Amino acid sequence: MVEQVLLRAIGVRKSFGALEVLKGIDLEVRQGQVVSLIGASGSGKTTFLRCVNMLEEHDAGDILLDGDPIGYRVEGGKRRRMSETAVSAQRARIGMVFQQFNLFPHLTAEENVMLGLTKVLGKTKAEARDIAGHWLGKVGLEARRGHYPYQLSGGQQQRVAMARAVAMEPRLLLFDEVTSALDPELVAEVLQVMKALAESGMTMLVVSHEMLFVRDVSHHVVFMDQGKVAQAGSPAEVFGNPESERLRSFLGRFHGFF
């Protein structure tokens, strides 16, 4: 059965000054799928991810979530940016986990998860605390709910950040190189949580350099090169049959695993 398309990007373009970082990205994420973006740094993966929740604003093209254009609306033939309030409401439907965790430093693990629940979703403190407890339990950190970020290891902080994102029950979760800032021995615990999320049916768009994870967990892999989608397909296709020299040499860097 083919699930319906949750996120669709059509010809997304983005420049920083004179440098065109995204040169027309087309991409689909179906409900319940894990789609991974791979590619060398500078290929535009992270920029694209950040465009999906309007942390960067794309210059042209459309990003549709459930068919609704994100960030921009066409009125009378003109492309208009939505109000910040409208954009905020859209962002509430999309979760994001960052490379540097970005936990709120003045709040405990539990309060980090609760903040969006109470202030954005309007839940009561008691409800929010229950939900936070549930998700902190899922990431194995219920015992640390009262700890501040500086009292947690990088891996633990990243798991709290994931709990914070999932607790909002987003339609889509974005992962921006979430293991890149971690010590090697802490990577596994974070990947394990991501894998569990994927198995629970969460729709995920993942930028990662963890090729084994990408190969084992993704439904669909997109190789980006110089601001374009160079090859896309199932992990078996992309890793087993790299069409371009660029992809071959990119994959070759990962110790000849593929």
Partner 1 sequence: MINYHFDWSVIARNMDRFLAALGLGLGLAVISLAIGCVLGLAVAYARVSPRRWLSGPAWFYVELIRCMPLLLLIFFIYFGLPEFGIYFMDKTQSFVLTLSLYAAAYMSEVFRAGLASIPKQYVEAAKAIGMRPWQRQRYVVLPVMFRITLPAISNNLISLFKDTSLAAAIAVPELTFLARQVNANTFRVMEVWLTASAMYLATAYLLATLLRLVERRYASIR
Residue 48 or 98 having the CB closest to partner 1 = 98
Binding residues for partner 1 (CB under 8 A): 53-55, 84-85, 88-96, 98, 100, 102-106, 115-116, 119-120, 148, 150, 161, 164-165, 168
Distance CA 137, CA 142 (A): 5
Distance CA 5, CA 67 (A): 9
Q: Quote the DSSP letter at residue 258.
A: -
- Reading phi first (left if > 0) and then psi (alpha if -120 to 50, else beta), residue 26 is in beta
Return the CA Rg of the chain: 18
Residue 7 or 251 having the CB closest to partner 1 = 7
Residue 31 or 102 having the CB closest to partner 1 = 102
Considering Cα of 204, then 175, then 25, then 222, what sign does the dihedral take? negative
Residue 73 or 119 having the CB closest to partner 1 = 119
Residue 23 or 147 having the CB closest to partner 1 = 147
What's the closest the beta carbon of residue 105 comes to partner 1, in angstroms? Answer: 5
What's the closest the beta carbon of residue 18 comes to partner 1, in angstroms? Answer: 23
What's the closest the beta carbon of residue 103 comes to partner 1, in angstroms? Answer: 7
Q: Which of 170, 189, 169 is nearest to 179 (CA)?
A: 189
CA–chain centroid gap for 78, Å, is 29
Per DSSP (E only), the strands in the chain are 5-16, 19-30, 34-38, 60-65, 68-69, 72-75, 78-81, 94-97, 172-176, 204-207, 220-225, 228-233
Residue 50 or 138 having the CB closest to partner 1 = 50
What's the closest the beta carbon of residue 65 comes to partner 1, in angstroms? Answer: 13
